[in-house]
Chains A and B, each alone.
Chain A
């Protein structure tokens, strides 16, 4: 293939006529080479008349036509005469289909500047709007859950089991790994200062209480917010974008009952189970440190049984139920509120994870205060 080339030649004759001669191939690759030159020659010209000689153009496509349109536009705006000579009939037809004065320079729409007051107002409104829709969603969800409790047949149990497997069982390795390492790291960090007082064995107390009451439920919930809440938001968001949600609604199926209830139930069942495993793995992680310091395993287990009781375990599991509701609920609610477009699903997923984690931490704080006042 011959490389595309376009050649520009300008001649000003005595009668004040500027002739711009264009030769060769005018396509999207080569037009750029002569564009600037042609426009500059035109701008410099003092002559009243300009002739563009196109008889030696071998090939001209849309880009070449646009150069001719640009020359026409500039000449018309100046009120000068222009003649385009020697243009092939087929190119002439294409050129004539455009009115050069129709193409003013393009100015992208500038985003309107907003004042600080307006921005604060808008931000406040959007926060309020968000809270309102979360409350509305919570209402719908609770209603649908009550309906499901009264009539368990309406729940699609097959779907719920599948979701329990992907969201719960498949999350076990990551929950186990993180819990084990957190237990181990915490025990190691605590053992160093405590050994100065000869109190290493009390590391067991620390690990047992903190894991059962706080870290087990909390770490599981945060992993699930990252793993499951985002998956729910993306899945429901994609369904929304693909109009599957509209299809459900027009079939008379409530998306909350059909999609959300199964996910919430599955997560509510799996969350305490994962938390129990997380507790176990955390305590096992701590034992590694004490074993390496020469304490027998029985001493570690004794201290744990002495320091923690069922109330600590059940308190943590109760929290994990609340966290499960948050993980599934927030993921689904953001999924249902997905707008259109490719970035919308990404936005929903991000919002689901961020607000999920915030809600988990806030709820954990509330539980701590309540547990403190009721003395457990």
Chain B
């Protein structure tokens, strides 16, 4: 647990809307450095949309998103690039480049953004692939890998430049329990040892209990954050019945 609460992401009065339809209505929250921060909610509540706003892919209808003090929404050109260097993103489908091998996919950011020599880059790539359990698959094309493997490769690519913040969209969906637990261990070790901040959209309750420092829950009926805290506290002490239900149903299924 972190003793000092240094804010690394600050979302202020964010409203997200597609045309006239409001998806998220005026929410604010902060993410602290080194925290594993989970965005949770029922299907269609705008979790992935919120994630895409936070990485600056889409402009919000209103509000600001500050990454390490800089507004990613209004930043342009080299300022924007500087902010983007601080973040790494793993998309739901992996989004690996189909024309490159796994090794080339992970190596690409190093080639573009560092002055490391070639053998140093090779070593870093191999180490990252080892961390996600994909050593030995360097020369495979993404299409030759299973969905879970593609996801892990995408995590390796997202973290190859060691960004301060990693955004993961449904990282453990489609993974077997053992791989998923290994991934959880990786997240915990990166957060504790390197103080990398994680913002994760997920549904997997078992994994949330083991990795999350903090969870926010979005409810699509009110379009706001209805809970914010440690998952155990939300399950046991939340004054919102829907939140307790959300956690307890799953707990009843998994735990009893």
Interface residues of A, Cβ cutoff 8 Å to B: 27-29, 31-33, 35-36, 61-63, 65-67, 69-70, 90-91, 93-94, 97-98, 102-103, 105-106, 108-109, 339-344
Contact = CB atoms under 8 A, between A and B. Distances in A.
Contacts of A69: 123, 127
B71 to A, nearest CB: 16
Contact of A62 (B97, B135, B159): B159
Contacts of A102: 130, 135
B83 to A, nearest CB: 11
A61 B162 contact: yes
B122 A105 contact: yes
A184 to B, nearest CB: 44
B154 interface: no
Contact of A90 (B97, B101, B103, B192): B192
6 contacts: A27-B162, A28-B124, A63-B120, A103-B126, A106-B103, A344-B98
A341 B159 CA distance: 23
A90 B193 contact: yes
Q: Which of A62, A98, A342 has the most CB of B within 10 A?
A: A62
Given A66-B123, A70-B123, A108-B101, 14 more contacts: A28-B113, A28-B160, A32-B114, A35-B120, A62-B124, A66-B120, A91-B193, A98-B127, A102-B135, A105-B122, A106-B122, A106-B125, A109-B139, A342-B99
Contacts of B124: 28, 62-63, 66
Contacts of B101: 108
Contacts of A343: 98-99
A22 to B, nearest CB: 15
Contacts of A97: 131, 189
Contacts of A339: 143
B110 interface: yes
Given A61-B194, A62-B128, A36 B113 contact: no
Contacts of B125: 106
B123 A94 contact: no
B117 to A, nearest CB: 6
A58 to B, nearest CB: 13
A67 B123 CA distance: 9
Interface size grouping (class) on chain B: 35 or more
DSSP class of B's interface residues: helix, strand, loop or mixed? Answer: helix
Contacts of A90: 192-194
Contact of A28 (B114, B123, B130): B114
Nearest to B99: A343
Given A31-B120, A61-B162, A61-B194, A342 B97 contact: yes
Contacts of A344: 98
A36 B193 contact: no
Q: Which of A91, A106, A342 has the most CB of B within 10 A?
A: A106
B103 A108 contact: yes
B75 to A, nearest CB: 14
A108 B139 contact: yes
Q: Which 5 A-B pairs have the closest CB atoms?
A: A61-B162, A341-B98, A32-B115, A106-B122, A32-B116
Interface string B131-142: 100010011011
A32 B194 contact: no
Contacts of B116: 28, 31-32, 35, 63
Nearest to B104: A108
Given A94-B189, A106-B103, A341-B98, A65 B127 contact: yes
B127 A36 contact: no
Contacts of B119: 105
A63 B103 contact: no
Contacts of B193: 90-91, 93-94
A106 B138 contact: yes
A35 B117 contact: yes
Contacts of A340: 98, 143
Nearest to A98: B127
A36 B115 CA distance: 11
B194 A63 contact: no
Contacts of B97: 342
A35 B124 CA distance: 12
Given A32-B116, A67-B120, A91-B193, A98 B162 contact: no
A106 B126 contact: yes
B123 A341 contact: no
B73 interface: no
A28 B162 contact: yes
B162 to A, nearest CB: 4
Contacts of A66: 120, 123-124, 127
B70 to A, nearest CB: 10
Contact of B114 (A29, A67, A342): A29
